[in-house]
Amino acid sequence: MTRMLASVNSLKETRLILNTSIDIIDLKQPEQGALGALSTELVNQIVQEVNHQKPVSATVGDLPMQPELIKNAVSAMADTGVNYIKIGFFPGGDWPGTLSKLHQLTQKGHQLIAVLFADTQPDISIIKSLKNTGFTGVMLDTMDKSKGSLTQIMSASEIHDFVSTSKDAQLLCGLAGSLKKDDITKLLNLKVDYLGFRGALCEKHNRTAQLDYDSINSILHYFESSRFNNAATEV
């Protein structure tokens, strides 16, 4: 069953999500980029607040692909006790060297999620290398939020290829990227592990604004209804 992920940037937003049926709490700071990171101090506080009620993921920031830099950021975030750590694979830099360094961390049991960006024309052949490195999952997101949602940036067939390749590698598979209500049904049909939301849950659908109770309920109700209908058609 596809789960719903919501990104939060504070204790206040975390508490709001804890009182809903949203499945996964994701920690990031939208004002600092596509995968802007919260401080490890704040992440620690949020992990304690959640207290295992829901899985928690956290990003390490919009960092260049420098092996030692990425490894240190992931190690620091792992010490907070989050369940999953998301690493953006941005264009340029040393991807092979970064994977080699991160292999040391996956061998220690850290659950890493690679984030590829649809608007950078990612080469999904890297998914095999992610699997060999010991990654737990991979997700598709967007880097430039002004270009529209994932389904506007990438064709249905390209998204399907990404999902199929991820499933073949037996990795958790997630989709995000300025997703809107209209994206939900078509993406649920792909049977991914989770769909991620931020902007659609915020005031005026502005991802750098605060989460909005009415927006959350609207998306969550539609998501759950669509998920139920999707499951019913399979019976």
The per-residue pLDDT string of the chain (235 residues; one tens digit each, 9 = 90 and over) reads 999 999 999 999 999 999 999 999 999 999 999 999 999 999 999 999 999 999 999 999 999 999 999 999 999 999 999 999 999 999 999 999 999 999 999 999 999 999 999 999 999 999 999 999 999 999 999 999 888 999 999 999 999 999 999 999 999 999 999 999 999 999 999 999 999 999 999 998 899 899 999 999 999 999 999 998 887 777 5
- The pLDDT of residue 176 is 98
- The pLDDT of residue 53 is 97
- The pLDDT of residue 89 is 97
The amino acid sitting at 185 is T
Under CATH, to which class is 3-232 assigned? alpha beta
- The pLDDT of residue 86 is 98
- The pLDDT of residue 229 is 87
- The pLDDT of residue 136 is 98
pTM of the model: 0.96
Q: Which residues are catalytically annotated?
A: 28, 86
- The pLDDT of residue 235 is 54
DSSP one-letter string for 42-104: HHHHHHHHHTTSS-EEEE--S----HHHHHHHHHHHHTTT-SEEEEE--SSS-HHHHHHHHHH
> What are the boundaries of each domain within the chain?
3-232
- The pLDDT of residue 39 is 98
- The pLDDT of residue 145 is 86
Smallest CA-to-CA distance from 60 within 34, 82, 86, 25 is with 86
- The H-or-E segment that residue 28 falls in is none
- The pLDDT of residue 41 is 98
Question: What are residue 24's DSSP bridge partners?
Answer: 5
- The pLDDT of residue 98 is 98
**H helices present in the chain, as ranges:** 11-18, 40-50, 67-78, 95-106, 126-133, 150-153, 156-168, 181-188, 213-232
